[in-house]
Structure 1
Amino acid sequence: MSDAAQPTAAEVRAAAEAVKTALDRHLAAVESRSGEDDPAVYEAFNQLAAAAEAYDELLYDRYDEVTPFEIPSAEDAPPYTGPEEPSALSVLIRRDYAVAEPQRLLAHAQRIEAADDEGSGASGTVHGALGLLFGEFEPDEIASRHKEFGLEEGDSTLWVTVSDEPAEPGEWLEAPFDEADAQRVVCRFDVSAVFDDGPEDDPVPDLDEDLEPLDADR
């Protein structure tokens, strides 16, 4: 990592203070917990883990030193409290992206719009281009070709949760993620840069090579 990209000593110190604050909050939650599976303790645990990970990363980047903190595993998840024989399940997915190359995104959106005889002009803005992109391609295809579309992957997670019975049609559409219950998760898959100790991904190909044709093999 170059000197220009390294965190400052003040940033490392601030991250250390955040860990101390998270430790205090976690202890307070444990001391006042209402039961063995108190959600406040679980939330404080996650906040402490996130603060420790951030501090560990900054400490390594600045001083080439590490801490004894470990990323919590699936074994640290709250105990399962769902039905023994579930009759329904939900798959909850979140994928985060950064718009790393707006011009690449806009170029793809313009090609999509050009193929539509009734183009709306949405390809002229980033938010319009995103609407065109996700309207044209399935989310899994965007995930596999995100660099081609000028996007940069962030964290992603997939939860498989179970229910006592199937939801009624339209029942949860207004707030699809509000009732996600970590204690009904039967399995989950997390992807994050904090787990990746390998080399950086290969650079994105040149835009001209990348844009022809749309249906190129993945």
Structure 2
Amino acid sequence: MSDAALPTVAEVRAAAEAVKTALDRHLAAVEGRIGDEDPAVYAAFNELAAAAEEYDELLYDRYDEVTPFEIPAPETGAPFTGPAEPAAFSVLIRRDYAVVEPARLIAQAERVAAHDQDAELLDDGGTAGALGVLFGEYEPDEIASRYKEFGLEEGDSTLWVAALEEVAEPGDWLDSPFQQTDPQDVLHRFDVSSVFDEEPGFEDEDEDGDEEGFEAAAGADGQESAPESGLTPA
């Protein structure tokens, strides 16, 4: 960028003052919050994010420097429109795994099958049959806590809590259990991903990778974060 196109010192200072003002307004909105979905808080958040982004850009253009913090851009997810007082709710969970040691996975399944006549490996004795045996024997939470024993490696995972007007009739959604959840009905969302480790200042809670990166979405809007997981509305 040429010197003529550089932001002026006054423009950078004005942007810095805008951030200070937006910070004060955001704090005031949070202190005066009315309910979990106060629109004043979200408006103040968006104003702060925009002011911080503008200041960061001008600071970089003028001085080739960046700010030591990052305010996430507001998400564009659908706002929560479900019942304010849900009489029921659904819990949807997705956990991804990589099969990094197929032989270990198959050996564990064979061990289970040897002690349980109802557990049978597929004819090919491969990983597909092994997974059927293991998930038939163990609860998903137990496999999640012992995944290394089964030759697996954790990927991303997410848990959604979706509001319902009433509990579905038995068998109602079994044909397509994961296709009837409207994102606007998601009350809370909890995500785990190693991608969060890349954020500055975010460290694993233990050496074994039990908490590789955790982001909890609370509320229904996707705009706050803490430490985020921190906490970020869905």
Question: Counterparts of 1:118 and 1:78 in 2: how far apart (Å)?
Answer: 45
Residue by residue over 1:71-113, the C-alpha shift from the partner in whole angstroms, topping out at 9 and shown as x without a partner, is 667x654211011221111001111111111011011011001
Match of 2:112 in 1: 112
> After the TM superposition, which of the residue ranges 89-98 and 114-123 deviates more from structure 2?
114-123
| 1:188 corresponding residue in structure 2 | 189
Could you tell me which residue of structure 2 aligns to residue 90 of structure 1?
Answer: 90
5+ residue gaps, structure 1: 1-67, 204-218
Equivalent-residue separation in structure 1 for 2:208 and 2:164 (angstroms): 41
Give secondary structure in 2 for the equivalent of 1:106.
Answer: helix
Residue 140 of structure 2 corresponds to: 139
Count of residues paired in the alignment: 135
Runs of 4+ in 1 over 4 A off after TM superposition: 68-73, 199-203
Q: Structure 1 127/82 Cα, relative in aligned 2: closer, same or farther at 3 Å?
A: same
Distance 1:80 1:105, change over 3 A: same
TM-score (norm 1): 0.55
Distance 1:86 1:133, change over 3 A: same
TM-score, length of structure 2 as denominator length = 0.52
Output aligned runs, 1:58-69, within 5 Å. Answer: none
> Residues 86 and 118 of structure 1: is their aligned pair in 2 closer, same or farther, counting only changes over 3 Å?
closer
- Relative to its length, the structure with more helix (as a share) is 1
Q: Which has the higher Rg, Structure 1 or Structure 2? A: 2
Q: 1:71 to 1:175 in 2, by over 3 A?
A: farther
Task: Identify which range, 93-102 or 110-119, moves more after superposition.
Answer: 110-119
Q: 1:69 to 1:102 in 2, by over 3 A?
A: farther
Distance 1:119 1:132 in 2: 6
Amino acid at match of 2:137: E
CA RMSD across the alignment: 2.6
* Letter aligned with residue 174 of structure 2: L
CA contact (8 A) 2:120 2:133 kept: no
User: Which residue of 1 is the match for residue 78 of structure 2?
Assistant: 78
Could you say which residue in structure 2 is the equivalent of 1:149?
A: 150
Mapped partners of 1:72, 1:112: distance in 2: 48
1:166 — aligned with what?
167
The whole-number CA distance in structure 1 between the counterparts of 2:107 and 2:128 is 13
Superposed CA deviations along residues 183-211 of structure 1, whole A, max 9, x for unmatched, are 111111001111124469549xxxxxxxx
The structural deviation recorded for 1:118 is: 6.0
Alpha-carbon distance, 1:69 to partner: 8.1
Distance in 1 (CA, whole Å) between partners of 2:189 and 2:118 is: 42
Alpha-carbon offset, residue 70 of structure 1: 6.9
Give deviations 1:109-142, integer Å, cap 9, x for gaps: 1100111246634382110000001001000000
* Alignment deviations for residues 140-194 of structure 1 (CA, whole Å, 9 cap, x no partner): 0000001111111111000000111211110000100101111111111001111
Give the secondary structure class of the aligned counterpart of 2:89. Answer: strand
Could you tell me which amino acid in structure 2 is paired with residue 149 of structure 1?
A: F
